[in-house]
Amino acid sequence: MMRLIDRICDLLAILAGIYLVGIMFGIVISALARTLNLSGSWSSHIFTFTEFGLLYIVMAASPWLVRHRGHVFIELLSAALPRRMQRSYSRAISALCVVICLTLVWYTWGATARAWRFGDAEMRSLDMPKYLLLGAMPIGFGLMAAQFLRFVFGPVTMHTGEAGVHE
């Protein structure tokens, strides 16, 4: 099951990277069009897709970052603990992260379902169903919870027990 989740997270991270490159090109095209006095209604759509894309990118790439311990966390306390306590501490922190992610899944799923049920729309240069925007959150937080579970029950812990930058 974790192999499937890993493949999904890999795919989402690749899509996030592609979207980020698309945003970069969109910004360049928009700035160039403005400089050449060619901007029209289409240029405001680039801004809207950029806004929405930032949420999609974060939700798509975060589970991959969790798996590779690429997110920001502080090892100062884990490094100060005795070796025999470090693994338990790290697993407890990972379990807390699972609980937080699952709580966020619950609330964001509720918001997504309400937006679907009531037909809410995000009104920008393009009208977009709000559930398409909100729907990225329960998926992203759910995958992050699955990745944090790896550190709760797997052989590797989230923390290394050494203070400093580890790359």
The CA-based angle 102-19-39, given to 5 degrees, is 130
Q: Whole-model pTM?
A: 0.88
Q: What is the pLDDT of residue 15?
A: 97
Domain ranges in the chain are: 2-153
Half-sphere exposure of 62 (CA within 13 A, CB side): 21
- Tens of pLDDT along the chain (167 residues)? 889 999 999 999 999 999 999 999 998 988 888 888 887 766 778 888 888 899 999 999 999 999 998 877 777 788 888 888 989 999 999 999 999 999 999 999 999 999 999 999 988 777 889 999 999 999 999 999 999 999 999 999 888 777 665 55
Q: Give the ranges where the chain is alpha helix by DSSP (H).
A: 2-35, 41-67, 76-80, 83-118, 130-134, 136-153
